[in-house]
């Protein structure tokens, strides 16, 4: 069974890769070239100097990507992945938007050559997904092989994922200006910051505390019981008791669960759409969603969500590339190496920083990045100049 699944996945990826190549290598390069040709010529802001050395995406005068800086930033991203988790993907995005100078450069073409502005924006979005996505992909395939799938849920999620991942690039590629993108990215980061802050409040922590207490209590009860004690296992596995458009009810080892099948479809759609629009993974939103909506056990939700993320990501990257988005490969490669180094350093350094402090630092960071990006995106000013002139 596993081998067949791997084969299907491999074929899917291979097929995707072929379309990527075919689409990007030729037709789309000419789109950017046309935009470069059409842009006003000169050495001023928002103009293209044909005599200038080729920079990012082969644009004359485009930013020269500093691979050393990219490497150092990626170490930071990898460090976050290994200590805090999903926030690493956000920081990868921050790197693409601000650190390498791509954002400022795209901004200069807002009025004069919007196509170049949008091309750089899309390139940032797809680069984020490539970088975080391919790494997550390898981990996901392992989980996928490990876990059993709950096919109806996986199918519902996958339908939503494909729709979200296909539609968003189709509808937005080449249409989102850099400023809008940064603004929406800011909203997402601010939302994440608020959620992280909520988790630290007594109310937010109560749920987690309660779960921990219940788990501890159950563990101590289990320790008191004799091993191998007989339990009622007359109802093994999953037994579907009701299957309709409005409700799927099933017993799981005799315990009743139910969920609305439309939830995974909409949830998959919304999560995949957000992930594709912002250029993030999406798995970190999918697993908690899946567990809380369907009550699936970890073992099953891991495999099921891995499949949905995998399908969503392939669809999204392909869809972007079909719209003509170009990628700077050495930048992606350098960042992958940086992530590896950062993830190796993380475990050795994070033990000296208490979890509580780590959380506080990232809440402050999320608020700063979120508000700053929103101000840049929607007001055209960065947060420092807004407050301090």
Partner 1 sequence: MQEFHEIFASIYQWLDVMLISTFRLLSNPVSGFFFGTFILSLWCTLIGELTSLGVGRINRAHLKKLEQESIRLHNLSVKAIIHKDKESYRACNKMANEAWGKYFFATISQGAASVWPVPFALAWMHTRFEAIEFELAYPIPLLPEVVGYPAVFIPMYILVRICFARLKPWLPLFHGDDAPKVRRPGQEEEKMITWADVDKHKGLPG
Binding positions for partner 1, 306-345, rule CB under 8 A: 329-330, 332-333, 336-337, 339-340, 342-344
Q: CB nearer to partner 1: give 1 or 245.
A: 1
The structure tokens listed for 97 are 């938007």
The nearest distance, CB 167 to partner 1, in angstroms, is 17
From the CB of 111, what's the least distance to partner 1, in Å? 32
Q: Is residue 1 within the footprint of partner 1 (CB under 8 A)? A: no
The three-state DSSP-derived secondary structure of 359-375 is HHHHHHHHHHHHHHHHH
Nearer to partner 1, 201 or 234 (CB): 234
Structure tokens at 60: 């004359």
> Are the CB atoms for 77 and 335 separated by under 8 Å?
yes
Is 138 one of the binding residues for partner 1 (CB under 8 A)? yes
**Segment 141-160, which members bind partner 1 (CB under 8 A)?**
142-143, 145-146, 148
Coil, strand or helix at 110: coil
Nearest residue to 309 via CA among 86, 124, 95, 87: 86
Q: How far is the CB of 347 from partner 1 (least distance, A)?
A: 4
Q: Which of residues 68-127 bind partner 1 (CB under 8 A)?
A: 68, 78, 81-82, 85-86, 88
Q: What is the DSSP string of 140-181?
A: HHHHHHHSPP-HHHHHHHHHHHHHHHHHHHHHHTTT--HHHH
Query: H or E segment at 240?
Result: strand 238-243
Smallest distance from partner 1 to CB 214, Å: 3
Spatial CA neighbour of 185 closest among 51, 382, 373, 385: 373
> Site for partner 1 (CB under 8 A): how many residues?
84
Applying CB under 8 A, among 301, 304, 316, 323 the residue interacting with partner 1 is 301
- The stretch among 180-188, 242-250, 287-295, 365-373 that binds partner 1 (CB under 8 A) is 287-295
222 near partner 1, judged by CB under 8 A:
yes
Positions 2 through 21 that interact with partner 1 (CB under 8 A): 6-7, 10, 13-14, 17-21
Of 311, 317, 338, nearest to 126 by C-alpha is 317
Q: Is 162 in the site for partner 1 (CB under 8 A)?
A: no
Residue whose CB is less far from partner 1, 46 or 197: 197
Residue 136 interacting with partner 1 (CB under 8 A): yes
For residue 94, what are its two tokens?
């921050």
How far apart (Å, rounded) are the C-alpha atoms in residues 184 and 182?
Answer: 6
């Amino acid at each position: 069974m596993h081998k067949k699944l791997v084969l299907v996945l491999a074929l899917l990826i291979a097929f995707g890769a072929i379309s990527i190549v075919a689409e990007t290598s030729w037709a789309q390069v000419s789109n950017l070239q046309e935009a470069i040709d059409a842009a006003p010529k000169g050495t001023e802001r928002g103009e293209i100097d044909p005599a200038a050395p080729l920079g990012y995406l082969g644009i004359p005068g485009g930013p020269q990507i500093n691979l050393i800086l990219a490497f150092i930033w990626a170490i930071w991203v990898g460090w976050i992945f290994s200590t805090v988790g999903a926030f690493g993907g956000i920081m990868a995005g921050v790197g693409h938007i601000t650190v390498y100078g791509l954002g400022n450069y795209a901004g200069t073409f807002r009025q004069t050559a919007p196509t170049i502005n949008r091309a750089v924006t899309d390139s940032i979005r797809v680069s984020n997904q490539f970088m975080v996505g391919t790494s997550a992909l390898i981990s996901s395939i392992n989980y996928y092989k490990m876990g059993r799938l709950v096919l109806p849920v996986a199918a519902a999620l996958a339908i939503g994922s494909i729709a979200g991942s296909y539609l968003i690039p189709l509808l937005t590629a080449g249409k989102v200006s850099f400023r809008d993108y940064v603004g929406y990215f800011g909203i997402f980061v601010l939302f994440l910051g608020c959620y992280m802050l909520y988790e630290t409040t007594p109310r937010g922590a109560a749920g987690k505390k309660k779960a921990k207490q219940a788990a501890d209590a159950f563990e101590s009860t289990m320790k008191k019981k004799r091993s191998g004690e007989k339990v009622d296992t007359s109802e093994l596995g999953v037994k579907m008791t009701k299957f309709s458009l409005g409700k799927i009810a099933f017993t799981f080892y005799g315990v009743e669960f139910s969920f609305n099948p439309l939830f995974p479809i909409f949830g998959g759609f919304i999560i995949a759409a957000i992930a594709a629009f912002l250029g993030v993974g999406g798995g970190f939103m999918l697993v908690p969603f899946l567990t809380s909506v369907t009550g699936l056990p970890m073992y099953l939700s891991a495999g099921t969500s891995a499949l949905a993320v995998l399908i969503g990501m392939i669809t999204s990257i392909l869809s972007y590339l079909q719209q003509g988005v170009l990628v700077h490969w050495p930048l992606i490669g350098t960042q992958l190496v940086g992530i590896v180094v950062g993830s190796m350093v993380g475990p050795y350094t994070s033990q000296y920083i208490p979890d509580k402090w780590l959380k506080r630092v990232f809440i402050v960071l999320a608020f700063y990045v979120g508000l700053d990006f929103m101000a840049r995106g929607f007001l055209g000013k960065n947060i420092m100049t807004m407050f301090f002139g």
